[in-house]
Amino acid sequence: MVQICELVEIPATPTLSIRLITRAEDLPQLIGQTYEAIMEYMNTQGEAIAGEPFVIYHNLDMQNLDVELGIPVSHSLPPHGEIQPSSLPAGPAAQTVYTGPYEAMEPVYDELSKFISDTGHEPTGIAIEYYLTGPETPPDKHRTRIVFPLKK
C-alpha cells in the first residue's frame, strides 16, 4: 500500500476537546460519546463545526492511550465541564490520506514515519487523525487524514 505523503504547514486552529486516558478497544465508543457531548455544547453556544473532527494521540500505548478528542471551531469558547478550549498545533507537519478500515492503518503510520525520516525531519511524538467520513461510511471507504507534526 503506497501512500502519497507530503510536507505541509498546519495553521493554528481553535478547538473544543476532551483529553483522557483510555484503551484502544474503548476508543470507538468514546469517540462517538465525546463528539456528541462537544456538539451539544457547541449548539448551546451557537457554534458550528469549522473543520474535521480529530483525535490527537499524545502517545501510542494501546492499553494506556493519552488522547485528545475534538472538533475545530471558528473561535475560542469557554470551557464546559470536561470540554476544554484548545488549539491544533501550528507548524510543519507530514501528512497522508488513508482510505480503509481503522484497524488496518498501522502500515500507513509506518510509511509516513519512513517518509519523515527520508526527508530529514523529526516528528514531535504526537499523531493526529482527522476523520473525513462519518460513522455511516462502510469501513473499507473510511477516509482518514493522518498528520505527524514535525520539530522545527
Where do the domains of the chain lie? 6-149
Write out the DSSP string of 74-106: SS----BTTBEEEEEPPEEEEEEEEES-GGG-H
Cα distance between residue 70 and residue 17, in whole Å: 4
Mean predicted lDDT score pLDDT of the chain: 94
Greatest mean pLDDT range, 24-33, 57-66, 108-117: 108-117
Interatomic CA distance for residues 56 and 33, integer angstroms = 16
Please, which residues have CB within 8 angstroms of residue 30's CB and are 6 or more apart in sequence? 20, 22, 69
* Superfamily of segment(s) 6-149: Regulatory factor, effector binding domain (3.20.80.10)
In the chain, the N- to C-terminal Cα span, in Å, equals: 29
Report yes or no on whether pTM surpasses 0.85.
yes
- Residue 101, C-alpha cell as written in the block: 478500515
